[in-house]
Structure 1
Amino acid sequence: MFRSRGSGKLTVLVLAVLLAASGPPASATPEPAAPPTFTHPGVQVSRPQLDFIRGKVNAGAQPWRGAYDQLSSSPYNSLSRTPKPRAVVECGPYSKPNIGCTDEREDAIAAYTLALSWYLTQDARYADKAIAIMDAWSATIRDHTNSNAPLQTAWAGASWTKAAEIIRYTYSGWAGAGRFGTMLREVYLPKVIGGHATSNGNWELTMMEASLGIAVFLEDRSAYDRAVAKYRTRVPAFVYLPGDGALPKAPPGSGIDTRDEIVRYWQGQSTFVEGLTQETCRDFTHTGYGIASIAAFAETTRIQGQDLYPEIGDRLRTALGFQARYELGEAAPSWLCGGTIHRGLGPVTEIGFNHLNTRLGITMPNTQRLTEDRRPAGTNNLFVAWQTLTHAQNPN
């Protein structure tokens, strides 16, 4: 098919380029992704990052001190908090019914909040309260049910693992860590590790964020590898780049493969531009959930020595920039969502912006303006919390 001229190097080069563009054959087994040795604490925040934050807070430097004051005054940071565990958490569409859904998510965020307070203040009362919350749930919960069970499990699981990593590896008083790990393995991991290909993209992205966090806490290499493999296909199916072709990539296993099906899955949007997401025309809030999990997942892999940022960086950068542009108030043109968008991106930009701008020096004017204007970023009361405190200008 290809004729060589001269030394034949051109033929080899052409073949190499074509093979690289097509990717591995569908039957190829993904290479192991898990690190030979896990880093702890290592879910979204590392010890060097925590030390950086503590130094800035103690020095009264901004924006960290303001972000810490925000966390410190939050109800999630209360030493009098009483956890509300349930054996079965039942969550229907949009958490209707809501039988323990809000309680679980908010207790998990509280555990993470208190874990951060422990490390930053070295006041053992905060660690002990985080432990009391985690122990209450690990002694009680047995299942999540109803249609939103996978998403609810992911939301809570993402926060539980951040809290558990900090407490287990920076505090010596947690006798129940083993039981908590059993809870993650038996109640949470089975609900999230398989993904949910036919749902909107924020589901599977948050499910993979939770799966990765659980894998790190349990040092489960198989779960880590599965989460990375799913993430590598799900991010390209959530954020469009022109190199994808005329149409966005479809989530593997979804059965979405015709133009009409893809347009319908992308909320009726038929014009595809750089940085558009699968949920942009649904609303920016759910789009923000997906962006948050993309960044959090990559941040954890970076801490674990793998660093998937180079692989997904262009998608993260353009998704942040595209959404920020309209979140800041620019009117939507008629080709975008029929000219009507629903803003409300949420406190989700700090982690991605920090990596791309602080660490790599990439200029991101819209994302920078949005991020700085809305500092300190608090919590969305689901699974995102305190990103200004943990990741603003954090080089570690």
Structure 2
Amino acid sequence: MSRDTDITTHRMSRRSLLRTAGGLAAAGALGGATAALNGNTAGAAPATFTHPGMLHAYGELNRAKVQVAAGKDPWLSGWNRLTANSHSASSWKANPQATIIRGGTGENYGILYNDIHAAYQNALRWKIAGTTAHGDTARDILNAWSAKLTSLAGNADRFLAAGIYGYQFANAAELMRGYSGFDLNRFKTMMLNVFYPMNNDFLLRHNDACITNYWANWDLCNMNSILAIAILCDDGAKYDQAVNYFKNGAGNGSINRAVPFLYDSQGLAQWQESGRDQGHTMMGMGQMGAFCEMAWNQGDDLYGYGNNRFMKAAEYVAKYNLGNTVPFTTYTWGTGQNCAQMSQTVISDNSRGQVRPVWDQLHYHYAGRRGLSVPYITQMAGKGRPEGGGGDYGSASGGFDQLGFGTLMYAR
């Protein structure tokens, strides 16, 4: 089979999957299919953006709604995890701030991530159960912040805030699109004026440091925010910016830098942060997974990009965190402003086996949608099921790095 024929067949399968899920209108499907054939070139944005079309498209939302109403597991178990989380209560009240600080003196960013997760969880409860009280709460949280937030501050960590909370905020807003009383235009303005400039600046200048100084997650969260803002605002140029950075970016979030070494004979690939610690490595699974899922719902298959390069990295991370041995190639990179060289010669066992709600999304994509064998991802997903979300994994910021609830939203 020729390469062109193989790509076309894959794309038709992609469209069929979305149609089966009920997730794309015809225009969006055609736009996504055309975009995917463009490969590394600019112009990847769909001709028509799909809404909802970030972490959750119509198909996933409808399936969760139907299966929870029918009382079927694992959806019901995932739903029970959601409703037990205090952030999902319709009594949650927003505490908006004009300035959010992450890093340095006066940190208050915990206020923001708690409110974002409350907005997201209430939005899910409204989408799945149709309870107006939860819809109203999600709307009110989003409106309160878009009316007040004007800046993000702090040391270099402010770029983490701009990235992580930018893409999460946009995902909550996407679920509430069209809801009575939700000021979507004002929310878009906040995302474009407060979050995007910092996301863009980081990917362009990396806080004036050596291009390889910052770990993959720093790039990835800012890439996620740009992609999410692009979808929220139907902005093709920003969509292209994010996808092109994934494919060709100079920083560690681009696919070939985030996954620097392949072990194809074993179906594995080393992750950029594997020599650092396993907590941040698993955060990377969630960050790149979120990017791939948002692109997937706009018709672009980045999960499979580079001959399933990300899948091999996820299998590597899962295998090691299940207690198995994996190969490791010395990783050398430039640090600081002068690119002073540092190296890691062994994989880190720090935080090995940590549980984060990132695996069900990957399992249900690769094993479910694609029908591929991913034994280590599948085992990791089983260990953490049913997945919770922000508030279920401790009160520190790491417990809010991913929106979670993968069992409820991705089981198939």
Q: TM-score, normalised by structure 1?
A: 0.79
2:184 matches 1:165: no
* Aligned-partner SS, 1:89: strand
Report the alpha carbon displacement of residue 307 of structure 1 after superposing the two structures with TM: 2.4
Tell me, yes or no, if the aligned pair for 1:201 and 1:278 is still in contact at 8 Å: yes
Report the alpha carbon displacement of residue 339 of structure 1 after superposing the two structures with TM: 6.3
The aligned counterpart of 1:216 is 231
Corresponding letter in the other structure for 1:90:
I
Tell me, yes or no, if the aligned pair for 2:286 and 2:402 is still in contact at 8 Å: no
Q: Out of 185, 188, 201, which is 2:192 matched to?
A: 185
Report the alpha carbon displacement of residue 243 of structure 1 after superposing the two structures with TM: 8.4
The aligned counterpart of 1:149 is 158
Q: Out of 141, 145, 149, which is 1:137 matched to?
A: 145
Report the alpha carbon displacement of residue 330 of structure 1 after superposing the two structures with TM: 2.9
Distance (Å, rounded) in 2 between the aligned partners of 1:313 and 1:127: 41
Distance (Å, rounded) in 2 between the aligned partners of 1:65 and 1:209: 29
Corresponding letter in the other structure for 1:34:
A
How does 1:380-395 map onto structure 2 within 5 Å? 380-393=399-412
2:79 matches 1:61: no
Tell me, yes or no, if the aligned pair for 1:378 and 1:385 is still in contact at 8 Å: yes
Report the alpha carbon displacement of residue 175 of structure 1 after superposing the two structures with TM: 3.9
Report the alpha carbon displacement of residue 43 of structure 1 after superposing the two structures with TM: 0.8
Report the alpha carbon displacement of residue 276 of structure 1 after superposing the two structures with TM: 1.2
How does 1:267-306 map onto structure 2 within 5 Å? 274-306=268-300
Corresponding letter in the other structure for 2:273:
E
Instruction: Assess, with a 3 A threshold, how the Cα gap between structure 1 residues 290 and 140 changes in structure 2: closer, same or farther.
Output: same
Distance (Å, rounded) in 2 between the aligned partners of 1:366 and 1:279: 19
Tell me, yes or no, if the aligned pair for 2:61 and 2:128 is still in contact at 8 Å: yes
Tell me, yes or no, if the aligned pair for 1:316 and 1:352 is still in contact at 8 Å: no
Q: Out of 81, 89, 114, which is 2:92 matched to?
A: 81
2:259 matches 1:239: yes
2:370 matches 1:360: yes
Moved more, 378-387 or 151-160: 378-387
Tell me, yes or no, if the aligned pair for 2:247 and 2:255 is still in contact at 8 Å: yes
Report the alpha carbon displacement of residue 205 of structure 1 after superposing the two structures with TM: 0.8
Tell me, yes or no, if the aligned pair for 2:96 and 2:149 is still in contact at 8 Å: yes
Tell me, yes or no, if the aligned pair for 2:263 and 2:269 is still in contact at 8 Å: no
Instruction: Assess, with a 3 A threshold, how the Cα gap between structure 1 residues 275 and 31 changes in structure 2: closer, same or farther.
Output: same
Structure number, greater radius of gyration = 1
Instruction: Assess, with a 3 A threshold, how the Cα gap between structure 1 residues 313 and 53 changes in structure 2: closer, same or farther.
Output: farther
* Aligned-partner SS, 1:131: helix
* Aligned-partner SS, 2:256: coil
Instruction: Assess, with a 3 A threshold, how the Cα gap between structure 1 residues 338 and 301 changes in structure 2: closer, same or farther.
Output: closer
The aligned counterpart of 2:113 is 105
Corresponding letter in the other structure for 2:136:
D
The aligned counterpart of 1:376 is 386
1:169-201 residue CA offsets vs partner (Å, 9 max, x unmatched)? 4x3x03411111100110011111342343111
Moved more, 306-315 or 286-295: 306-315
Tell me, yes or no, if the aligned pair for 1:158 and 1:209 is still in contact at 8 Å: yes
Instruction: Assess, with a 3 A threshold, how the Cα gap between structure 1 residues 318 and 111 changes in structure 2: closer, same or farther.
Output: same
* Aligned-partner SS, 1:150: helix
1:241-288 residue CA offsets vs partner (Å, 9 max, x unmatched)? 4389xxxxxxxxxxxxxxxxxxxxxxxxxxxx9421110111111112
The aligned counterpart of 2:335 is none
2:50 matches 1:39: yes
2:124 matches 1:116: yes
* Aligned-partner SS, 1:206: helix
Instruction: Assess, with a 3 A threshold, how the Cα gap between structure 1 residues 294 and 224 changes in structure 2: closer, same or farther.
Output: same
Tell me, yes or no, if the aligned pair for 2:160 and 2:221 is still in contact at 8 Å: yes
Instruction: Assess, with a 3 A threshold, how the Cα gap between structure 1 residues 316 and 54 changes in structure 2: closer, same or farther.
Output: same
Report the alpha carbon displacement of residue 105 of structure 1 after superposing the two structures with TM: 1.2
* Aligned-partner SS, 1:236: helix
Report the alpha carbon displacement of residue 98 of structure 1 after superposing the two structures with TM: 5.8
Distance (Å, rounded) in 1 between the aligned partners of 2:329 and 2:235: 45
Report the alpha carbon displacement of residue 365 of structure 1 after superposing the two structures with TM: 1.2
Corresponding letter in the other structure for 1:323:
V
Tell me, yes or no, if the aligned pair for 1:34 and 1:224 is still in contact at 8 Å: yes
Q: TM-score, normalised by structure 2?
A: 0.76
* Aligned-partner SS, 1:275: strand
Tell me, yes or no, if the aligned pair for 2:98 and 2:149 is still in contact at 8 Å: yes
Distance (Å, rounded) in 1 between the aligned partners of 2:324 and 2:106: 36
1:102-152 residue CA offsets vs partner (Å, 9 max, x unmatched)? 111121111111110001110111111001111111111111112211111
Distance (Å, rounded) in 2 between the aligned partners of 1:62 and 1:368: 17
Instruction: Assess, with a 3 A threshold, how the Cα gap between structure 1 residues 314 and 100 changes in structure 2: closer, same or farther.
Output: same
Distance (Å, rounded) in 1 between the aligned partners of 2:380 and 2:305: 24
* Aligned-partner SS, 1:377: coil
Distance (Å, rounded) in 1 between the aligned partners of 2:56 and 2:98: 30
* Aligned-partner SS, 1:193: helix
Identity within the alignment, %: 29
Moved more, 313-322 or 151-160: 313-322
* Aligned-partner SS, 2:152: strand
1:85-108 residue CA offsets vs partner (Å, 9 max, x unmatched)? 11111111xxx5462211111211
Report the alpha carbon displacement of residue 240 of structure 1 after superposing the two structures with TM: 2.8
The aligned counterpart of 2:311 is 317
Report the alpha carbon displacement of residue 216 of structure 1 after superposing the two structures with TM: 0.4
Aligned residue-pair number: 334
1:40-91 residue CA offsets vs partner (Å, 9 max, x unmatched)? 0111110111001111111111111011101111011011212121111111
**Structure 1: which 5+ residue stretches go unaligned?**
1-28, 245-272
1:7-58 residue CA offsets vs partner (Å, 9 max, x unmatched)? xxxxxxxxxxxxxxxxxxxxxx932111110000111110111001111111
